[in-house]
């Protein structure tokens, strides 16, 4: 069996797409400073088409974070670190502040939720402390942009110096498939899958 060592010379000259693909593959273990904070509360088991919101989220996580060193915190009534490619589903309430308190070691956060936080005030306070420590965060709201939870996610993104995006689960499966695109917008270019 012959081992092949990848180098830029192995990439066909003049092929910009091949070079970009090569560089992304070489950097696929990046994102050490990134943590994805995912809502695993009871409402994530609501169906959108033939899959739950949670299953749609899992597909997007597996697509973008396979073979990376990004971390994942799952939160509902409690919070814990979990496998980013297959985070544990908890059920229960929607308490974000315990998860945010675990994020001081990271410089980039992506926070995903579909509901109203039971601890909005304390979550915003922890977000302010994180921002003072140089942590940046983007948010993804799964639901209608006019819902109260979306307003909270916008506040979090503003405090953390990031952006907020909404994936409107009320519009069905086609909208939920946009999760992959939304994640891509929050990742460094070198880590985006072609």
Q: For residue 107, how far is the Cα from the chain centroid?
A: 14
pTM attached to this predicted model:
0.82
- Residue 16 confidence (pLDDT): 45
Give the closest residue to 193 by CA, choosing from 9, 5, 17. 17
Per-residue pLDDT tens over the stretch 5-58:
333 333 334 444 444 444 444 444 568 899 999 999 999 999 999 999 999 999
Residue 15 has phi, psi (to 5 degrees) of: -100, 95
Q: Tell me which fold the domain 30-191 belongs to.
A: Rossmann fold (3.40.50)
List the domain boundaries for the chain. 30-191
For 144-148, the CB contacts below 8 A with 24+ separation are 144/168, 144/170, 147/116, 148/116
């Amino acid at each position: 069996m012959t081992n092949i060592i990848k180098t830029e010379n192995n990439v066909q000259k003049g092929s910009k797409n091949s070079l970009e693909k090569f560089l992304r593959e070489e950097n696929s273990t990046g994102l050490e400073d990134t943590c994805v904070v995912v809502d695993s509360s009871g409402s994530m088991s609501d169906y959108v088409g033939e899959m739950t919101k949670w299953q749609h989220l899992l597909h997007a996580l597996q697509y973008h974070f396979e073979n990376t060193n990004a971390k994942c915190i799952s939160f509902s009534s409690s919070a814990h670190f979990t496998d980013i490619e297959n985070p544990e589903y908890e059920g229960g309430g929607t308490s974000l502040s315990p998860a945010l308190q675990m994020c001081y070691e990271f410089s980039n956060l992506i926070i995903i939720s579909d509901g109203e936080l039971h601890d909005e005030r304390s979550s915003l306070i922890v977000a302010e402390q994180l921002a003072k420590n140089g942590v940046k965060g983007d948010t993804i709201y799964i639901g209608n942009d006019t819902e109260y939870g979306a307003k909270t996610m916008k506040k979090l993104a503003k405090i953390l110096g990031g952006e907020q995006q909404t994936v409107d689960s009320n519009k069905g499966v086609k909208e939920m498939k946009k999760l992959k695109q939304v994640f891509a917008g929050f990742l460094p270019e070198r880590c985006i899958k072609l």
